Amino acid sequence: MNPYFLEYSLVAIAGLIFGAALERGRMCFVLATNNMIMARDSKILEGILWAFGISVLAFGIIESLGIVPIQAAVTGVFPSGWYDLVGALLFGFGIGLCGACMSGLIFRASSGFTQNWMQLFGILVGTIFFAFLIFPLTNFLYWILHTIPWLSIKPGFSDYIPHEWFGNAVWGPFVVALIFGGFFLVLGLYLTKRRFAKISKERGENYKEPIITWNMLKFKEPYSPRLGGLLFAVVAIIVLLASYFTVHKVTYMGVTTPYGSFDTYILAPFINLYTTVGHYKASFLPKISSNWFQIVPVAIPMTLFVITTFAGATATAILGGEFKWRVPKRKIMFLQNFIGGIFTGVGARIALGCNIGTLWSGFLMFSWAGALFLPTLVLGMYLALKFQQAIW
């Protein structure tokens, strides 16, 4: 069997599961943060922490046992540095304006939330804006790879924490996973226990939440945070193993670069994206880059993954009786989502990924990308919240 066919097909199955986990588990970083800040409700945040914790630990075990050797795992590690901080700030502000992160966008748009379709449109426009203006004008690729070494870490072993800390020791990934994954799991467990204790006190009885029930499996009830988190981890593991055992090339989770592919598929019949239209000459820059579309693959497994994720989320929304076209009461929200989408698209491109591709995958690939992305992401979301409170 053609290994590429097998890889794409397996990754597509993972996409369906991911869509179901997103839609049923309401897994959205903005929703998690807003609920935590405004309502002190930790339920969705718990799901995200469980997802991070379980998946990071699983990746550590997989790499330490040599199921996916360290040498193969590092081939997928991309550089991290100052651009994670800058990109995450813009990205955080954008998703804060829209009220949905990249994962939240998928499940909301798939359930019929119209303003999130506008956010998606904004992201596609933002990606084009980045590809033809920011990318060539700032000579983006060059700055990332060469000119600010003290603020940039090169891909591969240079940005692989187990190698930095423990050299070539095979147990290195497991120990690093235990530190990062353990932290997420302990925090998730603490928040879950605290929420149970709070509900128990309110109801005057011992409250416990099952991880999985028949009603969850029949799409009658939303998934528990722990089930949502577990499915996230399963999806990341399927993507990693499917890519390694089929075409021997490691793939980590990511959803924003596939949005660039959507641009390609939508615009290709009308304009040639690989043209040098975006090839500007700026004499003060050391090297001229072409437009961004010229350096990204035409199709990556994650493109099909994102489409099946949309399909999975729409199917579970229908099966759960929750699909409905929802139009915001204030029509200005369409404009806000479009502008927020542009910020989201540009920010994600500057940071080389979004809350999935750089934040989550940053931890999964044991690089510094996730840790660099997180603080300014939260700052961006906080600024967007304050901005909205000021103007509305």
Partner 1 sequence: MAAAKKKNHNWCGITLLALYGLFTIYASFLLSSLNKGKVIGKLSDETLTGIKEAFILWGVIMIIGAILLLIREYVLKSGQEEVKDTERGVAPHY
Footprint on this chain of partner 1 (rule: CB under 8 A): 2-9, 12, 26, 31, 35, 41, 99-100, 108, 110-113, 115-116, 261, 264-265, 268-269, 272-274, 290, 294-295, 297-299, 303-304, 307-308, 310-311, 314-315, 317-330, 333
How far apart are CB 104 and partner 1 at their closest, in Å? 8
What is the residue-wise DSSP string for 326-392?
A: B--SSTHHHHHHHHHHHHHHHHHHHTTS-IIIIIIHHHHTTSSHHHHHHHHHHHHHHHHHHHHHHH-
Nearer to partner 1, 167 or 321 (CB): 321
Most distant CA pair in the chain, distance: 72
Nearer to partner 1, 303 or 376 (CB): 303
Number of Cβ within 10 Å of residue 118's Cβ equals 22
Reference 361, options 55, 47, 11; nearest CA is 55
How far apart are CB 179 and partner 1 at their closest, in Å? 33
Nearer to partner 1, 100 or 239 (CB): 100
Query: Residues near 13 by Cβ (< 8 Å), separated by ≥ 6?
Result: 238, 308
How far apart are CB 180 and partner 1 at their closest, in Å? 29
Number of Cβ within 10 Å of residue 240's Cβ equals 27
Number of Cβ within 10 Å of residue 299's Cβ equals 14
Query: Residues near 194 by Cβ (< 8 Å), separated by ≥ 6?
Result: 42
Nearer to partner 1, 82 or 213 (CB): 213
In the chain, beta strands by DSSP E? 80-81, 152-153
Nearer to partner 1, 175 or 307 (CB): 307
How far apart are CB 56 and partner 1 at their closest, in Å? 27
Is the separation of the CB atoms in 209 and 198 below 8 Å? no
Nearer to partner 1, 33 or 264 (CB): 264
Number of Cβ within 10 Å of residue 344's Cβ equals 34
Helix (H, G, I), strand (E, B) or coil at 5: helix
How far apart are CB 290 and partner 1 at their closest, in Å? 7
How far apart are CB 310 and partner 1 at their closest, in Å? 6
Nearer to partner 1, 25 or 53 (CB): 25
How far apart are CB 294 and partner 1 at their closest, in Å? 4
How far apart are CB 113 and partner 1 at their closest, in Å? 6
Q: What is the DSSP letter of 224?
A: P
Residue bearing tokens 């997420």 = 184
Nearer to partner 1, 170 or 319 (CB): 319
**Cα separation, 226 vs 232, whole angstroms:** 10
How far apart are CB 178 and partner 1 at their closest, in Å? 34
**Cα separation, 369 vs 362, whole angstroms:** 5
**Cα separation, 333 vs 119, whole angstroms:** 10
Token couple for 225: 């945070």
Nearer to partner 1, 6 or 61 (CB): 6
